[in-house]
Amino acid sequence: MRDIAELKVQAAEQAVTFIQSGMVVGLGTGSTAVHAVRAVGRLLQAGQLRHIVAIPTSEATAAEARSLQIPLVTFDTHPVIDITIDGADEADPNLDVIKGLGGALLREKIVAAVSRRFVIVADHSKRVTQLGSKAPVPVEVIPFAARPVGDYLQSLGARVEMRLDGADKRPFRTDENNIILDCYLGPIADPYQLAAAIRQQPGVVEHGLFLNMATDVIFATPDGLEHVTRL
């Protein structure tokens, strides 16, 4: 069995081969996506990629990109992204995914929505037959609405837990200063119906169901890399 940590690096680097000089690149957030960010930085410094600009999906990714001298831009000048590479917490056979355990789901979804190609990189443990089988659905909420939104999400059948900061056990705050409610639902029969229901409640900013968005998933498996594309 090959080392999964090493395979995650290889999967991220494989995704980076889809990037061409002159592209606008979305930079994902998390322990797998960071390998893609670092690979982009190395290729730029080596001159193998040129004239790349990037939009990060979190302040943490922005800091990593700056340390690697990756030029950053905003939507004001670059409203369309050629390719985004990001991680996922779950991926089903339709390439629908759950994202957000890293706390950056809002910016990640904004970036994904304007990307011509959205490539997910994940290890094989993130592959599921139904979304919700392992991971909760994160829901980003304005703090003022925490209780009513939490009650509403419970009415949809979720066990709701407020995301806490690991250091001081205070409510976790996103880059937009919102909170996250993690919704444990078990296998989700109809993710599209659930996504629509979640968005109906005032105070919900965004949810971690990324449906019909990913164009590719590169899985790191014990037997090597597996590249799946949306039909």
Told to judge if 13 belongs to the known catalytic residues of this protein, a careful annotator would answer no
Rg of the Cα trace of the chain? 17
CB neighbour burial string for 139-169, b if at least 16 within 10 angstroms, e if fewer: bbbeeebbeebbebbeebebebeebeeeeee
Choose the catalytic residue: 13, 90, 108, 206: 108
64: nearest Cα among 31, 88, 89: 31
- How far apart are the C-alpha atoms of 44 and 57, rounded to whole Å? 20
Half-sphere CA count of 23, side-chain side, radius 13 A: 20
The catalytic residues are: 108
